[in-house]
A and B are shown apart, each in its own frame.
Chain A
Amino acid sequence: MNIPLSWYLILAASLFCVGLFGVLSRKNAIAILLGIELMLNAVNINLVAFWRYLDPIQMAGQVFAVIVFAVAAAEVAVGLALIISVYRRRNTVVADDIDLMKW
Chain B
Amino acid sequence: MEKFIIWLLPLPPLLSFFLIILLTNKSNKLSHSIAIGAAFLSWLGSMVIFIRALGVREFGKNVFGSAINWLPTGATWLKVGVLIDPLSAAVIFFVAWTVLAIFIYSVGYHNFGQLKGEHDIPGLPPHGAVSKDENGHQHNVPSIEPMYARFFAFISLFAFGMYTLVVSDNLLTLFVGWEIMGLCSYLLIGFWFGKPSARNAAVKAFMTTRIGDVFMLLGIAFVYSFTGSLSFQEIFKPAMLQALASTPAFFGLTTAGFIGLLLFIGTVGKSAQWPLHVWLPDAMEGPTPVSAMIHAATMVSAGVYMVIRMFPLISAGWSEGLPLNTTMSIIAFIGAFTALFAATIAVAQNDIKRVLAYSTISQLGFMIAALGIGAYVAAAFHLVTHAFFKALLFLGSGSVIHGMEHGVLHTGDHTIDPQNMFNMGGLRKKMPITFWTFLIGGFALSGFPILTAGFWSKDEIFAEAFGNGHLTVFIVLAIAAFLTAFYTMRQITLTFFGKSRTKAAEHASETTWSMTVPLIILSLFAIGYGWVGIPEKFPGFGGIFPNWFHNFVGGTLTETPKEVVFSWIPLFTSLGVALGGLFFGWLAYRRVESPAEDKLQIPILINKYYFDELYNFVFVKPAEWVAEKFSYLFMDRIVIDGFLHGVARSSLFLGSLFRNKIDKPIINELIGDGTGNIVKNSGSGLRKIQAGRIQYYMIASLTVLVIFALVYYFLIGGM
Contact = CB atoms under 8 A, between A and B. Distances in A.
Direct A–B contact in complex, judged by CB atoms less than 8 Å apart = yes
What are the nearest 5 A-B pairs in CB distance? A102-B692, A99-B692, A103-B687, A101-B692, A103-B690
A1 B690 CA distance: 50
Nearest to A99: B692
A70 B31 CA distance: 120
Interface in A2-55: 20, 23-26, 32
Interface stretch (B99-107, B545-553, B694-702): B694-702
A74 interface: no
B691 A24 contact: no
Nearest to B696: A96
Contacts, number: 33
B693 A99 contact: yes
B458 to A, nearest CB: 120
B688 A103 contact: yes
A100 B692 contact: yes
Given A25-B695, A98-B693, 13 more contacts: A23-B695, A24-B695, A24-B702, A32-B695, A95-B693, A95-B694, A96-B693, A98-B692, A99-B691, A101-B690, A102-B690, A102-B693, A103-B688
Interface in A68-101: 95-96, 98-101
16 contacts: A20-B702, A24-B695, A24-B699, A25-B695, A32-B694, A32-B695, A95-B695, A96-B695, A99-B692, A99-B693, A101-B690, A101-B692, A102-B690, A102-B692, A102-B693, A103-B687
A16 to B, nearest CB: 12
Contacts of A100: 692
A99 B702 CA distance: 20
Interface of B: 687-688, 690-695, 698-699, 702
Contact of B691 (A20, A25, A102): A102
Contacts of A96: 693, 695
A23 B698 CA distance: 9
Nearest to B699: A24
B236 to A, nearest CB: 108
A102 B695 CA distance: 13
Nearest to B698: A24
A40 to B, nearest CB: 16
Contacts of A23: 695, 698
Nearest to B686: A103
A40 B273 CA distance: 132
A82 B485 CA distance: 140
A39 to B, nearest CB: 12
A32 B696 CA distance: 13
Nearest to A101: B692
A62 B68 CA distance: 124
Contacts of B687: 103
Nearest to B688: A103
Contacts of B699: 24
A25 B688 CA distance: 19
A53 B702 CA distance: 30
Contacts of B702: 20, 24
A60 B691 CA distance: 41
Contacts of B695: 23-26, 32, 95-96
B644 to A, nearest CB: 59
B695 to A, nearest CB: 5
A100 B694 CA distance: 11
Of B687, B690, B694, B698, most A-chain CB atoms within 10 Å? B694
Contacts of A99: 691-693
A71 B694 CA distance: 21
B290 to A, nearest CB: 97
B680 to A, nearest CB: 13
Nearest to A102: B692
A103 B688 CA distance: 7
Nearest to B684: A103
A29 to B, nearest CB: 9
A24 B699 CA distance: 7
A25 B694 CA distance: 11
Contacts of A98: 692-693
A32 B695 CA distance: 9
Contacts of B698: 23-24
A97 to B, nearest CB: 9
B706 to A, nearest CB: 11
A37 to B, nearest CB: 16
A46 to B, nearest CB: 18
A96 B692 CA distance: 8
B694 to A, nearest CB: 6
A98 B692 CA distance: 7
Nearest to A97: B693
A93 to B, nearest CB: 13
A100 B690 CA distance: 10
Contacts of B693: 95-96, 98-99, 102
B543 to A, nearest CB: 135
A99 B691 CA distance: 7
A17 B542 CA distance: 158
Highest count of chain B CB atoms <10 Å: which of A20, A32, A96:
A96
A72 B23 CA distance: 110
A95 B699 CA distance: 14
Nearest to B690: A103
Contacts of B688: 103
Contacts of B694: 32, 95
Contacts of A103: 687-688, 690-692
A1 to B, nearest CB: 28
